[in-house]
Chains A and B, each alone.
Chain A
Amino acid sequence: MQPIFDPHKPIFQSISEWLKGAILTGIYEEEGQVPSITEISMQYKINPATALKGVNQLVDAGLIYKKRGLGMFVSTGARAQLLAQRQDQFFDDYVQPLVSEAKSLQIGAHDLKDMVERGYQ
């Protein structure tokens, strides 16, 4: 799993989104260690200050914590927190654009529902 560097978005944001995604999918497990700032900045060739800014967003949100001299670890409950957050955003992030695209293609609510059900099968 790699961060998606949208050239039109600040890099620190790409880093924090990547790290959140990696925690959500379990690549970095709760109470497991996440890569250091040096590792992240070397891997993705970004300024360590930028990597730190991205990672600090997760620290501020309580998703990861620092152990002095040891590194950074995923907090217990981080996954559930991220899951709830993503579920909250699901309507805005996915349903709204889906419906707006369906409307512009003249796909009605009924047909869209059918398609969603087909997707679940």
Chain B
Amino acid sequence: MTIQVKDISKRFCSTQALDNVSVAFGENKIYGLLGNNGAGKSTLLNIITSRIFADNGTLNLDGVNMVDNDHALNQIYMLGEKNYYPESMRVKDALKWAQAFYPYFDHELALEIAQRFNLPLKKKITALSTGYTTIFKIVIALSSNAPFLLLDEPVLGLDAQHRDMFYKLLIECYTKNPCTIVISTHLIAEVAGIIEHCMIIKDGRVIKDAPCEALLHNGYTLTGPAALLDEYLLGKQVLSHSSLGGLKTASISGAIPNAEEIPPGLEIGKMNLQEYFIQLMSDENNSVARFMEDQ
């Protein structure tokens, strides 16, 4: 099964939240949806699940329109910011009711995961702490057995130990019951090893959409004396640069060159996903970077 998002745009008053977004989510892959606050990640996920509607564009599941299509939406579980359960409902009742809403929901699995996290079943959902509210959502998401799991900030408010448990559990569920997973998160370093394909959103536009490995093979850093580096950088697509005295480091977009192509005195380095993301986000509009350079 494949979700096809085509030319989706969405405007909230004066903000263009999504601008002609086209992406596809293929079967049984783990995607990372990365972007700064307000980039449009949640808007995209909310549109895919018909929680809000796009101004224009199409959404298809295997070629069939999925907007307000119950069959298509049954294939998707979304863990989002909002809680749609009644305020007075207790955790165990919510887990029971989930069976009615999600056709593939595994109630026993939900109880087992809840126990692993020590989720208090008798508490009211609204009385749970921030961390346990997230755990409650995780329990339902991982037990939903839906072919598509959209996880919007799935570790919000979780402590290090619970995050660790969640990532392991996610992989366990994925290997037992392969599905497509889309993780939207700010903790890039933590998911870098898990995600296979990366989509980076900036100001409502998808600026990168590629397998992680290919993405990281398309960026590198060079460090060396400023004059020497500046000369080499002519004609290269520089993402960002910083200076420390006469020593300059630049992040460059493009295929990693061979060591022989680099002038002696310059040192080449690779970027990890988080570094790459940060460099990609810091452009001339980044006031902090500009301020530092003015000094």
Contacts and interface: CB of A to CB of B under 8 A. Distances in A.
Interface in A1-15: 5, 7-11
Contacts of B196: 47, 49-50
B168 A8 contact: no
A21 to B, nearest CB: 19
B213 interface: yes
A42 B272 contact: no
B269 interface: yes
A62 B167 CA distance: 32
Contacts of B164: 45
A41 B196 CA distance: 13
A104 to B, nearest CB: 15
B272 A11 contact: no
B129 interface: no
Interface in B255-270: 269-270
A47 B213 CA distance: 12
Interface string B160-202: 0000100110011011000000000000001001111000000
Nearest to B189: A7
A46 interface: yes
A64 B272 CA distance: 30
Contacts of A37: 175
B166 to A, nearest CB: 10
Contact of B195 (A7, A10, A42, A47): A47
Contacts of A38: 171-172, 175
Contacts of A11: 193
A9 B272 CA distance: 8
25 contacts: A5-B193, A8-B271, A8-B272, A9-B270, A10-B213, A11-B193, A38-B171, A38-B172, A41-B171, A42-B168, A42-B171, A43-B168, A44-B193, A45-B168, A45-B193, A45-B194, A46-B171, A46-B193, A46-B194, A47-B30, A47-B171, A47-B193, A48-B175, A49-B196, A50-B196
Interface of A: 5, 7-11, 37-38, 41-50
